[in-house]
Chains A and B, each alone.
Chain A
Amino acid sequence: EPEVTQTPSHQVTQMGQEVILRCVPISNHLYFYWYRQILGQKVEFLVSFYNNEISEKSEIFDDQFSVERPDGSNFTLKIRSTKLEDSAMYFCASTPLTNEKLFFGSGTQLSVL
C-alpha cells in the first residue's frame, strides 16, 4: 500500500537555526498538509497546499514557516529560525481530493535546544 514518507524521523537543532522537514506524499495525491503535535497536546493543523500554492494556513503558520514542492515528489516544511516552542512531532499528510481521509506519514520529531 502506498504511504507518505517523512525524513528525518528525528531532528535536533539549536534555537535560531533553520530546519527543513521533508515529505514524499503519495504519488497520485493532489493535496498536501503539515500538522504538528506538541507532546501531550492535540494534533494541530498548520497548512494545506494545492496546485503549488498554500490554500489555507493556521495562525501557527507565521512568517517563520514556509512550504515548498521543489520537484514532482517532495513537499517540504521550512522553519526559518527555530524557537523552543517549535519542538513537536511534525506530520505530513496527503489526500487525492479534499473531503477525503488524510494519509499521514510517521512524523518527524523536532527537538529545539
Chain B
Amino acid sequence: DQQVKQNSPSLSVQEGRISILNCDYTNSMFDYFLWYKKYPAEGPTFLISISSIKDKNEDGRFTVFLNKSAKHLSLHIVPSQPGDSAVYFCAATSRGGGYQKVTFGTGTKLQVIP
C-alpha cells in the first residue's frame, strides 16, 4: 500500500533555480510530515518538517508547503545548489500512532546541474 507517494522518481534542475519536489498521501490520520535527504552510502538525514496545523514551514533555502484538502505537500529549494543533489524522501506519521512509525515515500532523485 502506497500511503505516501512520490510520483517523480527523478528531477534535474539548473543551479540557482528552484527545485520543487512533490508528495501525495492517502492516509487521513497522518498529521506530521517530514522530508529527509539521502546521499549514497549514508542514512537519510532530516531536512524539514511540518505539522498539519500549518500550511507552510521555512528553514533557510528550504520551504515545505502542505495542502491538507488535497493531501499534498511539496518541498521547495531556492536557490538550488549542486550539493543538494541527493535522493529526497517524503515521510509522514501520526499522533494517533504515537509518532512511532514513519511511513516513507519511494524518493525523488534530485540532480542539480552546475
Contacts of B49 in A (CB 8 A): 101
Query: A18: CB under 8 A from chain B?
Result: no
> Are B98 and A55 in contact, with the CB atoms below 8 A?
yes
Contacts of A31 in B (CB 8 A): 100
* A59–B107 CA distance with the chains assembled, in angstroms: 22
Query: B83: CB under 8 A from chain A?
Result: no
Contacts of B36 in A (CB 8 A): 102, 104
* A56–B96 CA distance with the chains assembled, in angstroms: 12
Chain B CB count within 10 A is highest, among A41, A42, A56, for A42
A43-B104, A45-B103 as given contacts; A105 in contact with B43, CB under 8 Å: yes
Chain A CB count within 10 A is highest, among B4, B42, B44, B107, for B44
Count contacts on A: residues with CB < 8 A to the other chain: 24
> Are A98 and B98 in contact, with the CB atoms below 8 A?
yes
Query: A91: CB under 8 A from chain B?
Result: yes
Query: B106: CB under 8 A from chain A?
Result: yes
Q: Which of A4, A48, A98 contacts B43 (CB 8 A)?
A: A4
A91-B44, A104-B43, A106-B41 as given contacts; A98 in contact with B102, CB under 8 Å: no
Contacts of B45 in A (CB 8 A): 104
Contacts of B89 in A (CB 8 A): 42-43
Query: A25: CB under 8 A from chain B?
Result: no
Q: Name the distance in Å between B57's Cβ and chain A's nearest Cβ.
A: 13
Q: Which 8 A-B pairs have the closest CB atoms?
A: A104-B43, A101-B46, A43-B104, A98-B99, A56-B100, A99-B99, A48-B100, A42-B106
Please list 6 pairs of residues, one from A and one from B, whose beta carbons are closer than 8 Å in the complex, sorted by A's number: A43-B107, A48-B100, A98-B98, A104-B44, A104-B45, A107-B42
